[in-house]
Every structure is written in C-alpha cells, then in structure tokens.
Amino acid sequence: MDPYRWSWNPEALVLVPLMAIAYFVVLRRYPASRWRIACFLGAMGLILAVTITPLETLAVNYLLVVHLLQNVVLAEWAPLLFVLGLPPALAATLARPRIVRVLVHPLVALPLWLANYMLWHLPWLYDTALEHPHTLLHLEHALYFTTGVAMWWSVFQDAPHRLSDGARAGVVFAAFVLGSPIGL
C-alpha cells in the first residue's frame, strides 16, 4: 500500500462540506467576525487534513505518532477551533435544549471527554478500532470530536453556563493534567 495515498473518507467528504454549508447559511442570521469564521474554517481544514490526506494512511497503517497526532487534532484542536468559530448568539441558541445544556456543563463535559479518551485507549478496543478503520475508527474520531466540542464549549462559550476566568482555566488545567496520562 502506498503510504502517501489519499483516503477518500466518505464521512469527512460529506460531513465537513455539510457543516460548512450549514455554518454559512446560519451566519446570515447570526453574523460572525472574520476571526470566528477563520477559526471555523480552520477546524474544517484540520478535520480534512487528518482524515483524507496521506496523514490518514500513515496514521492507520504505518506510524503510531501520526495516529496520535490525528487523535489530538480530532479531540482537541479541531473542536477548539469549531467552538471558537461559533458566534455567541448562535451558541446561545444551540445551547437551549436541555440535553445540550447538560452535555456542555463542565462537570459533565470534562468527565465525558476524559472517559471517551480512556475508553478508546483500552488495548483491546484500540486494536479493534485500528483493525476496522471504516467503522470503529470513524466512530472513535466522531466521538473524539463531539466530546471535544462539549469540553471546549464549557470553556469558551458563555451560554448556557458562564464560568469565571479562574473556572475556565481550571477546566483546561484539569483536562490536560488528567488527560495526559491517558494519552501517554
């Protein structure tokens, strides 16, 4: 297998453009500054970079370090940029449903994010996901992104839970102090 082949991941090639289209349609009602739009586009670019480029092939078939980079991008960097890309008024609207309010609460979001990381690093599940890249590995990546969005939401969006600066710093500190041993 060519280590530099592109991976035509249908989930990424369908979901990323759909999210981008939805984002730009919603911007008509909830305008965003240029830096927020750049953050959102950065998130979409990162997702595509680690799911359809040769990085995907290298991550799945050759280099553990690239796989770990892929996980960090999907669980931390892309979700962070996605959350920063949301205009506050849009975030407040999205946070209205009870389930969203619960999931983005830092006392729920942080443990979910950590539990997700821990679950996918159990050796038997980790190996099984790598053996089934078109099903379990895609599910792993989707859950990394989803729980990452919830975790970063609790830090950078004021709706539905406005945290003090100290609490925000505490969530980020806890995430990386508690998450680092799992990743290592």
pTM equals 0.94
Q: What is the amino acid identity at position 172? A: V
The Cα–Cα gap between 93 and 96 comes to: 6
- Mean per-residue pLDDT, 54-73: 91
The Cα–Cα gap between 156 and 76 comes to: 13
The Cα–Cα gap between 184 and 181 comes to: 5
47 pLDDT exceeds 80? yes
Q: What sign for the dihedral angle of Cα 24, 29, 30, 32?
A: positive
Residue with tokens 């959102």: 40
| pLDDT confidence band for 179 (50 / 70 / 90) | confident
> What's the confidence (pLDDT) of residue 38?
98
Q: Which of 83-87, 149-153, 177-181 has the lowest mean pLDDT?
A: 177-181
Q: Which two tokens stand for residue 143?
A: 């859950």
